[in-house]
Amino acid sequence: ACGRPPMRPTLPAMKTAQIAPFFATLKAANPLPNTELEYTTVFELLAAVLLSAQATDVGVNKATRLLFPVANTPQAMLALGLEGLEAHIRTIGLYHSKARHLLQTCQMLLDLHGGGQVPRTRKELEALPGVGRKTANVVLNCAFGEPTMAVDTHIFRVSNRTGLAPGKTPLEVELKLLKRIPREFLVDAH
């Protein structure tokens, strides 16, 4: 079997007494952290995060700057149709499946969630096509201020390399981070 060996922490496990100063340093360097994705509504954030899988925030922003002025609601997105949506996001990787998922999500938001409201629970978010745990956590954190951790590749690596929350899977790292990060830093930790 080819592949890299499982990632091991390069530092010993971070001691509990080191965690608060670590996050205080991060907060001092970036007191009001924000996602780099550009959005003005919860629906736009959901759409942007859905589109961002396997893509850069820069590339997603480039596409959504043209998409959101013409379709920034589930109804407007559905009115574009598959070909219209694909035309707006074709610069983003995997745009065929992302367009399909986004349109299915729009329909579900209209049918199941108050005529297009983005749900506020992880379970309801994860039931939407193309929305996994990480996407749900980003929406819960950025849109609703929930103390969640969206463990992407970067958070996974930093958590392992610093010894803050070593783990073999993103879920394992997420659960450890939620236990180890002091409450006052948790909302902005990601």
List the structure tokens of 183: 């409450």
Q: How far apart are CA 176 and CA 190, in angstroms?
A: 13
Integer distance in angstroms from the first to the last C-alpha of the chain?
33
Residue type for position 180? R
Q: Within 2-152, where are the H helices?
A: 16-29, 42-52, 57-67, 74-89, 95-112, 122-126, 133-144
Alpha-carbon distance of 79 to 71, in angstroms, equals 8
Q: Catalytic positions, please?
A: 134, 152
